[in-house]
Structure 1
Amino acid sequence: MKRLWSRIALSFFILILTLVIVLWFFLTAIIKDAYTEMTRDHLVENGQMVSQLIATSNNFNDPEALQGLIQQFNQPIEMRYTVVDEEGVVLADSENDPSTMNNHINRPEIQAVIRNGSALGESVRYSTTEQINMMYVALPIIEQNETVGAIRTSLSLSVVDEALSRLWVSLSIVLGIMFLISGVASAMLARSIMRPIDNIMDATYRLREKDYSSRVNAPSKGEFGDLSLSINSLAASLQKQMKEIEENEQQLTSIISNMVSGVMLINEEGRVVLLNSAMERFLSQHKDNIVGQAYEKAGERFALSPHIKSVLENGLKVHEEVHSYFPEERVMDAHLAPYYGQGWQQKGVIVVLHDITNIKRLEKMRSDFVANVSHELKTPVTSVSGFSETLLSGEVTDEATKKQFLQIIYDESQRLNRLISDLLHLSKIEKKEMPLDLEVVDMTGLVHEVAKTLRNAVENKKTHLTLPEVSKKIYLQGDQDRIRQIILNLLGNAVNYTAEGGHVDISLKENINTVRLVVKDDGIGIPEESLPRIFERFYRVDKARARHSGGTGLGLAIVKHLIESHHGEIEIESREGEGTKITVTFPKDQNAD
């Protein structure tokens, strides 16, 4: 803005200087003309006066008397007077001897009066006699109504030039002062004009730098005041709009960032411009390594590249199920659609991935559960139906055989009852329809109590059972019946899946806030691939042996839910053929955060 101020001031200076120069030349021309006219009038007046004196004195024909008369005007008046006759002969001169002077008939002013009969003759030229520029004015000398000669008055133009020089100096000083005053005034005017403009430009510059709190605070009047009010109104509107935009952006960013679905935006050039944290997690890459890259790099994980290319080229939505197998298997429900800018011009592609891995897993588990339940129910039902039909046919007459068949029917019905009871029990636990009956539980005593109920199985298999010391009491808050069921199931599995003469160890470890129950055996163990599924319903590592043992396949699933209802955790470590170690961690206080 300083350059604009200087340009305005310079423009004023040039304009004023031009006006001063034009005025100077105009005034000097007028003054010169006026001064010249005044000098000519002065010469005419003096010439007329001398002409009248000559006419009244009757000395025209007496050269000596005429010379004496003319010489009287030499000193007081700086004009030169010359009298010539009608032939141009110089009769008298106020400064020189007439006899030495040339004939003046060829002088322009003399010719105008004597030969042309003009009432006035004038001329400006260089005088060879005086060797200076002179102004000459000639008037006729009339006697008896006839022109008998001419009186010429002359004046050196140096006098005029000196007077004009003094006048020009004075005029130059006056105009110079006027120029300086006008220049200072123009600079002040330019500065006063630029001050509100500077304030306005400063405010608009800050607005351009996204400082929307900027306002024009300097008071202004007139158009600048109206402009300041308009800019302040615009700044207030911009500030409000930007605040709304920032709030919307924050809301949108928060929504996108906290979405469990992955979102990725690809521009029309095929480069990634945005992705959220969920998409980073799905792609196993940080956004800094993806943003700005071609979509092929981002899409190779789930084979999205062909779908992205299709949307870019055809502008049609795509809905596909995509898979990834590294580092773990993931199933994604992919939605791809074009997004548009102004005028509905396609600007790129938006990709949304929903992780349906757990849904697919649950669907598979549900399918497996239905199949397992059907299979588990089918076996006892078939046995009961088959043996009952045989007995009803009357073909079996042997009492021992009948008793055997009835025993099988009873056993299978009991097994069916246990299966249904476990299913109902598990369903209630999952629906949290069985609230905990909290009390202080003696874990050491409870472990020994459960061990007594399994004494026959332990003795039959000659299992070496190691229990925690009775004297070392460990207590926690919990539902005693459910904890008993947990210990019974874990200890029963350890005994059942341990070879005859094997070892089963149960230990309790107390920390500040937790109690750990550890059940360890040296039995058949669990294959590594089966460990992730060991807590699934009806899942059995050795199905034949598990069914023979009377298990329903729901025990560990129930145990896990009972532990979780106590806010506890269960961990399992096992090697096939070496044994299994199960660790259950309970909090001492169920009301603790």
Structure 2
Amino acid sequence: MKRLWFRIASAFFILILILIIVLWFFLAALLKNAYTDMTRDHLVENAQMVTQLIVASDSYGEREQLQELIQNFEQPIQMRFTVVDTEGEVLADSENDPEEMNNHFDRPEIQNVLQQEEEFGESIRYSTTQDFNMMYVALPLVSQGEIVGAVRTSLSLEVIDDAMNRLWFSLSLALGLMFVIAAIASTMLARSITRPIDSIMDVTSRLRRNDYSSRVNTEPKGEIGDLSRSINALAASLQRQMKEIEENEQQLTSIISNMVSGVMLINQDGTVALMNSAMERFLSQHKDNIIGQPYEKVGERFALSPHIRTVFESNEKVHEEVHSYYPQERIMDAHLAPYYGQGWQQRGVIIVLHDITDIRRLEKMRSDFVANVSHELKTPVTSVRGFSETLMSGEVTDEETTQQFLKIIHDESQRLDRLIKDLLNLSKIEKKEMPLNLETINMTALVHEVSVTLQGVIEEKKTRLLLPDPSKDLHLQGDEDRLRQIILNLVGNGINYTAEGGTVKVSLKENVDKVRLIIQDDGIGIPEESLPRIFERFYRVDRARSRHSGGTGLGLAIVKHLIESHHGRIEVESREGEGTTFTVTLPKKQEDE
């Protein structure tokens, strides 16, 4: 640890040195290429200018005139110009006497132009006449569409070499200064890192000796600061560890105790080690009488013993549906699985029981609903089909019989239409696809309006209908059409299931925030065992009687859903042969949803 700062500083030092060297060579090469490209472009531009002047002055054929023209460019441009013919013989040169110059046909830049007919030729080489490196660029000299020679421009690279030398010196100085600064910074950084690390190592050593009161007192920044705070948090966490374990055990106990599903744990010796309150309720025994008992004794209630034995022997999960008939019938979905200790060694069996009695009951209700729908649809469809086929066969010639058959077909089709409409309305209500159009309703006036609608049925059955006092207004917030449907259905049922000359009484009561609608009749009543099911779809106490009354078996189910959509409730009291009382409780004001 004492030399950790040196290793960190050395690593930074080497990395920075490598980066600086790479950066040095990269910048040097980049700038040298930039200088070279700029020089080449300059030579090409001047060569193009000279070529155009030679062609424009038509001095190519006159060597003296051409030499005089070329020498004019020596001082202002400070660039060498050379003109050669197609054989490489020098015709003019801005710095030397062309008579004393060698043939230039073997020069690469000249050959590229004269032989390969390229756009321009380029070459960089040492010049024996100038005694330093030169860059040469040659362009073809074209007269009347034919190449008659070449114009070569050249420039000393001594300027570029001098610039590069100055660049290398500047780069060396700047990068060297950067290197020194980086080396000092890396040393300081390494020391700032290792100093708190020494303190952290001391604290961890004390923690290893169970001294949980030790803390890192320095406050460094960055990741080391995070590490210091983590070490301090670790020390505090270790102090709280035993307390948290106890709290976690208490939480686990609370969770298991409040689970709806029953949970039981069987030890590897076959005795009950743990169970929750739900399991106590399922077994109808207190856990004090069960914990410590062998599983054979406990498993008698739901016949779990064979399944527990299977898990112990096969070390595999078991999923079964089990039944209990005492003190009441229960259907349980049982999940049994082994649980393991360290090294995946089996330590016992976990049993979880889910009460699915209500689920099975709902499944039966769903099955009954499908059967009832099929039965209700089959009867009118069969009647319509049978009587229509009879009429179509032509066997019925009597007009009275024909009208009777047609009336039956009409009545059955109306019944089928009512059934389908009720099913659709019930489905929409349940899916909340029929939103309430809330307004303030006078329930007293609405009850009297509904009684007018039922006047024909009332007179037919000679029923006495008692209504609330019309002078006493009673208001609530609701959907008028839905409330009308509730009243119409309940009052209509009271009339239908009351013998001729019977009485149906409708009354309204209110308190601070609720309104009660009470429909009471002295009709045939409902058997006690049927009361819990009268709001189920298609449930009928007497199918023949209900069908004769024209009902579809869905009225009370629709009423129940309409009342619940108004956040109300419906209750029923009845004695067979004595009459029935429906009580609808509705809030005066609907809550915003």
Q: Residues 355 and 399 from structure 1, CA distance in 2 versus in 1: closer, same or farther, beyond 3 angstroms?
A: same
Which residue number corresponds to residue 213 of structure 2?
215
Please give the residue correspondences for 1:257-268 in structure 2 after superposition, counting only pairs within 5 Å.
Answer: 257=257, 259-268=259-268
Q: Residues 410 and 502 from structure 1, CA distance in 2 versus in 1: closer, same or farther, beyond 3 angstroms?
A: same
Please give the residue correspondences for 1:570-581 in structure 2 after superposition, counting only pairs within 5 Å.
Answer: 570-581=570-581
Offset at residue 262 of structure 1 (A): 2.5
Residue pair 2:441, 2:476 contacting (<8 A) in 1 also: yes
CA shift digits 1:164-221 (9 cap, x unpaired): xxxxxxxxxxxxxxxxxxxxxxxxxxxxxxxxxxxxxxx99xxxxxxx996379xxxx
Residue pair 1:213, 1:236 contacting (<8 A) in 2 also: no
The separation in 1 between residues aligned to 2:250 and 2:439, in whole angstroms, is: 49
Please give the residue correspondences for 1:522-541 in structure 2 after superposition, counting only pairs within 5 Å.
Answer: 522-541=522-541
Which residue number corresponds to residue 434 of structure 2?
434
Offset at residue 241 of structure 1 (A): 4.8
Offset at residue 485 of structure 1 (A): 0.7
Offset at residue 390 of structure 1 (A): 0.8
Q: Which amino acid aligns with 1:381?
A: V
Residue pair 1:213, 1:239 contacting (<8 A) in 2 also: no
Q: Give the SS at the match of 2:354.
A: strand
Residue pair 2:332, 2:357 contacting (<8 A) in 1 also: yes
The separation in 1 between residues aligned to 2:412 and 2:233, in whole angstroms, is: 88
Residue pair 1:524, 1:577 contacting (<8 A) in 2 also: yes
Residue pair 2:261, 2:353 contacting (<8 A) in 1 also: yes
Q: Which amino acid aligns with 1:450?
A: V
The separation in 1 between residues aligned to 2:394 and 2:522, in whole angstroms, is: 50
Q: Give the SS at the match of 1:310.
A: helix
Which residue number corresponds to residue 35 of structure 1?
none
Offset at residue 503 of structure 1 (A): 2.0
The separation in 1 between residues aligned to 2:516 and 2:312, in whole angstroms, is: 58
Please give the residue correspondences for 1:35-434 in structure 2 after superposition, counting only pairs within 5 Å.
Answer: 215=213, 236=236, 238-239=238-239, 241-242=241-242, 245=245, 249=249, 252=252, 256-257=256-257, 259-296=259-296, 298-434=298-434
Residue range with higher mean Cα deviation, 573-582 or 252-261: 252-261
Offset at residue 271 of structure 1 (A): 3.0
The separation in 1 between residues aligned to 2:285 and 2:491, in whole angstroms, is: 45
Which residue number corresponds to residue 513 of structure 1?
513
Q: Which amino acid aligns with 1:563?
A: I
Residue pair 1:383, 1:409 contacting (<8 A) in 2 also: yes
The separation in 2 between residues aligned to 1:292 and 1:508, in whole angstroms, is: 60
Residue pair 2:450, 2:487 contacting (<8 A) in 1 also: yes
Q: Give the SS at the match of 1:274.
A: strand
Residue pair 1:266, 1:272 contacting (<8 A) in 2 also: yes
CA shift digits 1:445-473 (9 cap, x unpaired): 11111122112222222222222111121
The separation in 1 between residues aligned to 2:245 and 2:314, in whole angstroms, is: 32
Give the superposed CA RMSD. Answer: 3.2
Residue pair 2:212, 2:238 contacting (<8 A) in 1 also: no
Which residue number corresponds to residue 33 of structure 1?
none
Offset at residue 235 of structure 1 (A): 6.1
CA shift digits 1:275-300 (9 cap, x unpaired): 33443443445545544444355434
The separation in 1 between residues aligned to 2:465 and 2:257, in whole angstroms, is: 54
Q: Residues 447 and 294 from structure 1, CA distance in 2 versus in 1: closer, same or farther, beyond 3 angstroms?
A: farther
> How many correspondences in the alignment?
374
Offset at residue 557 of structure 1 (A): 0.6
The separation in 2 between residues aligned to 1:233 and 1:473, in whole angstroms, is: 71
Residue range with higher mean Cα deviation, 453-462 or 416-425: 453-462
Which residue number corresponds to residue 457 of structure 1?
457
Identity of paired residues, percent?
77
The separation in 2 between residues aligned to 1:298 and 1:213, in whole angstroms, is: 48
Q: Give the SS at the match of 1:492.
A: helix
Residue range with higher mean Cα deviation, 411-420 or 261-270: 261-270
Offset at residue 392 of structure 1 (A): 0.8
Which residue number corresponds to residue 546 of structure 1?
546
Q: Residues 336 and 493 from structure 1, CA distance in 2 versus in 1: closer, same or farther, beyond 3 angstroms?
A: same
1:563 paired with 2:563, answer yes
Which residue number corresponds to residue 72 of structure 1?
none
Offset at residue 592 of structure 1 (A): 7.4
The separation in 1 between residues aligned to 2:388 and 2:403, in whole angstroms, is: 12
Q: Residues 467 and 333 from structure 1, CA distance in 2 versus in 1: closer, same or farther, beyond 3 angstroms?
A: same
Q: Which amino acid aligns with 1:408?
A: I
Q: Residues 455 and 428 from structure 1, CA distance in 2 versus in 1: closer, same or farther, beyond 3 angstroms?
A: same
The separation in 2 between residues aligned to 1:285 and 1:515, in whole angstroms, is: 44
Offset at residue 359 of structure 1 (A): 2.0
Q: Give the SS at the match of 1:564.
A: helix
CA shift digits 1:388-432 (9 cap, x unpaired): 111111111111111111111111111111100000000001111
The separation in 2 between residues aligned to 1:551 and 1:308, in whole angstroms, is: 53
CA shift digits 1:30-76 (9 cap, x unpaired): xxxxxxxxxxxxxxxxxxxxxxxxxxxxxxxxxxxxxxxxxxxxxxx
Which residue number corresponds to residue 75 of structure 1?
none
The separation in 1 between residues aligned to 2:351 and 2:305, in whole angstroms, is: 11
Residue pair 1:266, 1:350 contacting (<8 A) in 2 also: yes
Offset at residue 322 of structure 1 (A): 1.3
Q: Residues 327 and 469 from structure 1, CA distance in 2 versus in 1: closer, same or farther, beyond 3 angstroms?
A: farther
**TM-score scaled by length of structure 1:** 0.58
The separation in 2 between residues aligned to 1:506 and 1:582, in whole angstroms, is: 10
Offset at residue 261 of structure 1 (A): 2.8
Q: Residues 434 and 398 from structure 1, CA distance in 2 versus in 1: closer, same or farther, beyond 3 angstroms?
A: same
**TM-score scaled by length of structure 2:** 0.58
Residue pair 2:214, 2:235 contacting (<8 A) in 1 also: no
CA shift digits 1:73-117 (9 cap, x unpaired): xxxxxxxxxxxxxxxxxxxxxxxxxxxxxxxxxxxxxxxxxxxxx
Residue pair 2:212, 2:239 contacting (<8 A) in 1 also: no
Q: Residues 235 and 378 from structure 1, CA distance in 2 versus in 1: closer, same or farther, beyond 3 angstroms?
A: same
Q: Residues 299 and 470 from structure 1, CA distance in 2 versus in 1: closer, same or farther, beyond 3 angstroms?
A: farther
Offset at residue 252 of structure 1 (A): 4.8
Residue pair 1:444, 1:473 contacting (<8 A) in 2 also: yes
For structure 1, list consecutive stretches of 5 or more residues without a partner in the other structure. Answer: 1-202, 205-211, 218-231
Which residue number corresponds to residue 6 of structure 1?
none
Q: Give the SS at the match of 1:567.
A: coil
Q: Which amino acid aligns with 1:268?
A: Q
Offset at residue 481 of structure 1 (A): 0.8
Give the greater-gyration-radius structure (CA): 1
Q: Residues 281 and 448 from structure 1, CA distance in 2 versus in 1: closer, same or farther, beyond 3 angstroms?
A: farther
Offset at residue 345 of structure 1 (A): 2.2
The separation in 2 between residues aligned to 1:306 and 1:503, in whole angstroms, is: 62
Q: Give the SS at the match of 2:349.
A: strand
Residue pair 1:262, 1:275 contacting (<8 A) in 2 also: yes
The separation in 2 between residues aligned to 1:213 and 1:416, in whole angstroms, is: 85
The separation in 1 between residues aligned to 2:487 and 2:362, in whole angstroms, is: 28
